[in-house]
A and B are shown apart, each in its own frame.
Chain A
Amino acid sequence: MNFRFISLYAWITGTTAIKRGFSYTLGYMITPLALLFLFGIISGGALIPLAVIGGLISVTATGALYGLSDAAMNRIELKLQDLFVATDISVLDYMLAISFSNLIFSMPGILVYIVIVLFMHLLPALWLIAIAPILVLLAVSVSAISLILASIPRHLRNVWGFLGILTVVFTFIPPLFYKYTALAKPLLYIFMLSPVTSAAIMVQNMAGLTPFLWYAPIVLVVETAVYFAIAKPLTQWRTK
């Protein structure tokens, strides 16, 4: 592992993306914030806690999904992937660099939601320590999926469409903004193929919004390991 590259790439691209392209930061925050507003109005405030927890997971996952467009842009348009292939780094170094870059990029959104969580007393402040690893695992696993999928499109235009579909599949359909108990068991198991589901269930559990699901943490850890492991053979690194 080249930790120097991972940390420098993540820090420089993550922080500069916030500083020099703040509209994107607002872009990934606006949808969950709009949902929070709508849920609050429609439910007379009853669904606000769920919308806050869903928003926290959503901004982290959306930031990680942006890794798809970063990786595709680097490969198809900028040819930066070719530049990196001919260096010492491996595809896993590259994947982690993009993961952490997008996690840093997601920080303003995460902080906004943490402030809301604390303001509404949804979780005790100390529990935020337990949320941090959940968000890191979520960012790494979704980034791994993003990097694998970024190998597929041959034209950049398809990436934007792809990203739109994935955003809905990852952040609207799984039980982020509703209780996982509303799902029939078979459907829940299908949705658990996405790490977003287990991460959302864990945070819902911690906030006391849903009954404790003992295997959710195991699923998240195993999925992160699996997606991370399959990213190496499935990502198009050296062109065939």
Chain B
Amino acid sequence: MIEIKGLKKKYGDGTYALKGIDLTLKEKATAVLGRNGAGKTTLLRILSTQLLPTGGHATIDGYDVVTDADKLRKRMVSVPQEAGPLGYLTPEEHIKIYLTARGMSFSNARQEAARALKSIGLWEFRDKTADELSGGMKRKIFVAMALASDADIIFLDEPTVGLDPISRIEVWSALRSLGSKMVLTTHYIEEAKELTKDIVMIDGGRAKAHGTVERLLRKSAGMVRVESTTSEEGEYKIGGIAISYVKASEAGRYAERGYIVKPVDLEDLFIMKGEDK
């Protein structure tokens, strides 16, 4: 279980990335959703012992992320956002180095690297240098590191950014097969729903909502989203699109006026909780 109490992070330039987050994560997998700059990566970096918080506390299975970092590091894997491989090394070499850093023997590292590369569709590229691989394949190297590890907890920061649809499905399938607890950040609503039941929405350094998809959507039950590119009327303005949320019974009236009507989904919670009116 991950418990977070009043977690704050203020960077050297005075920016508050986290303004006091309180959360209890009990589920096997949790997705942290939020816009760019919402504080997702900062939260994940603090939980994975890479970054020190300015205030508050966070524990994982009772271990404090600041004072018990050494104990936690033996049990976790963290794949940073925008991590890049060394261009002159192969995927297999990367994974073997990483696994020995986690304390694995050479022979186990070789076996586990092979298993992970096969499971994620990188086996045929194992001897290519990273410079010869596409951006998506480079990203897969890091996911393969997580798959090859024997960690209890895996932190993934935007694991499928830049992957094509087929590769994304391969990664999801591999991640679903893991027995480990997983916390991931993502921009993709579809990914969050695909991999987890537990969703945290953060914005402006604060947790705005937490629960299952059904629970999060409960408040907007009976509502539909109406949007228009021509009308100026709308509760929310995103680019040139005016968006409003209305009762489902009024949907027909809006449709007649040329509005596009859609059922409310998680994406709309982003808009409602994150966008300024």
Contacts and interface: CB of A to CB of B under 8 A. Distances in A.
Given A16-B93, A89-B101, A238-B49, A4 B106 contact: yes
B84 to A, nearest CB: 4
A193 interface: no
Interface string B89-121: 100010011101111111001000000000000
A190 to B, nearest CB: 33
Interface size band for B: 35 or more
Contacts of A43: none
B45 A88 contact: no
A52 to B, nearest CB: 31
Given A5-B101, A79-B84, A83-B83, A240 B89 contact: no
Contacts of A88: 73-74, 101-103
A227 interface: no
A79 B49 contact: no
B139 to A, nearest CB: 12
B102 A12 contact: no
10 contacts: A2-B101, A12-B97, A83-B145, A86-B155, A88-B73, A88-B103, A93-B101, A238-B49, A239-B50, A239-B51
A8 B100 contact: yes
Nearest to B102: A87
Contacts of A86: 48-50, 73, 76-78, 155
B52 to A, nearest CB: 5
B79 interface: yes
A9 B97 contact: yes
B233 to A, nearest CB: 44
A122 interface: no
A230 interface: no
Contacts of B45: 82, 239
B69 interface: yes
Contacts of A240: 52
